[in-house]
Amino acid sequence: MLSPGTKAPDFSTKACVSIEKGQEFKTVTNKDFAGKWIVFYTYPKDFTFVCPTEIVEFDKKAKEFADRGAVVLGGSTDNEYSHLAWRKDHADLRKINHPLLHVNHAMAEAFGLLQPTAGVALRATFVIDPTGVVRHASANDLSVGRNVDEVLRVLDGLQTDELCPCNWHKGEETLTQKLKKAS
């Protein structure tokens, strides 16, 4: 899996962006979001149980990410047609507004996303800065969903460009600020 400090690979892949007839699919590339923060999360498979809880939560928080200059992209190794079928089948997923990418083989390899025994995408999260550098990377076991509020907190901390302590939240004093006061 990619580590913080590495350049995120370029990608171009198909995505399910809508359930509206004739508007379901779009090719999505990292270049579409040049100069923005990208929050890219992956989940193991469509038509599962933990995954929709995360997708819905990322979508609920999409405005909070957008307010921070970040776009949210989700995806799995299932293709865009599977994403569409799942969205049509699952009441909560019909309403989402962010793209679900087909993490094709090349993209999965480039990001280091394949879970070694199951052969599906890891439950991973990457925060990529506007210059294309991975600033945060994490992965959970396939059975445990991530905390979207924690992803927002990490993004907030990264955007301060300062030292942020454990459990720090936006609006609180950073360690950098405390050190300046002490000197």
Amino acid at 97: N
Q: Is 26 helix (H, G, I), strand (E, B) or coil?
A: strand
Where helices occur in the chain by DSSP H, the ranges are: 51-60, 62-67, 80-89, 105-111, 148-160, 175-182
Active-site residue 16, yes or no?
A: no
CB–CB of 52/123 below 8 Å?
no
Residue 125 host element (H or E): strand 123-128
Q: Order of strands across the sheet with 100-102?
A: 25-29, 12-16, 100-102, 70-76, 37-42, 123-128, 134-140
d(CA 25, CA 112): 25
Tell me the catalytic residues: 51
